[in-house]
Structure 1
Amino acid sequence: MASLLLGARYLDGNKYVGSVGTGFKHDVARSLKKQLDKLKTKLPPVRVPGKNLVLTAPALIAEIEYRAWTNDGKLRHPSFKGLRDADDTSEIYRLPD
C-alpha cells in the first residue's frame, strides 16, 4: 500500500481531502489492506485525481493527525494513527458547508 486516499464528510456526501502515506506500522498496513480489498468498488465515492487508483467504499474511519489545511482544502503533513471502531462516529470531522 503506497498511500491511503482520504475523504471527509461534506454536505450530503464526502469530499477528497488528500492522501496519507506515513504512520503505517507493517502489521497494521497488512490488516488495513485486507480490509480495503473487501471494500473494492468501481464507482468512486468522491472525485479523486490520479491514475491506477484502487477505489473502495467509504466504510472505514481513520484517525489522522495533520498540521494544517492547505489553501485548496487538503490536509498538510497527514500521518495515519489507526482505525476507529465503527461505533465511534461522534468525532468524525465534517467540512464546513
Structure 2
Amino acid sequence: MQRMIKHPILGEIHKGRLVTFTYNGDSVQGYEGEPIAVALKAAGVSVHRYTKKQHEPRGIFCAIGRCTDCVMVVNGQPNIRTCVTPLREGMEVRTQYGLSAKPFRE
C-alpha cells in the first residue's frame, strides 16, 4: 500500500499513530496528521462527493486545496477540503451531496 509522504502544500507528512475514524458510519483507520483524503484513498475510497444537479461523483483532483472536488462533511460540517485537512482520532467523515450536510435524497 502506498501513502503520500510529501504534500505540495503541507510539506512532509509525518506518519503519526494509527487512529480510527468513521467514513459513512464504517470504522476506518489512517495515520494521525495525514490528509483525510490520503487515509480514504489508502482504504479504497475514491468518491468524496456527488454534484447536486447531475449526481456525478468527484474525488481527489488537485490535492492542494484549490478545487472543491474532495470536499466532504467532516464532523457535521460540509465543504471541508479533505486533501489539506489533517486526520484526527474519532473524526466522522461522510460523502457530501451538493453543497450542504443534508443527506442525499433521490
Q: Which TM bucket (shorter chain)?
A: under 0.3
Structure holding more helix per residue: 1
| TM-score normalised per structure 1 | 0.26
User: TM-score normalized by structure 2?
Assistant: 0.25
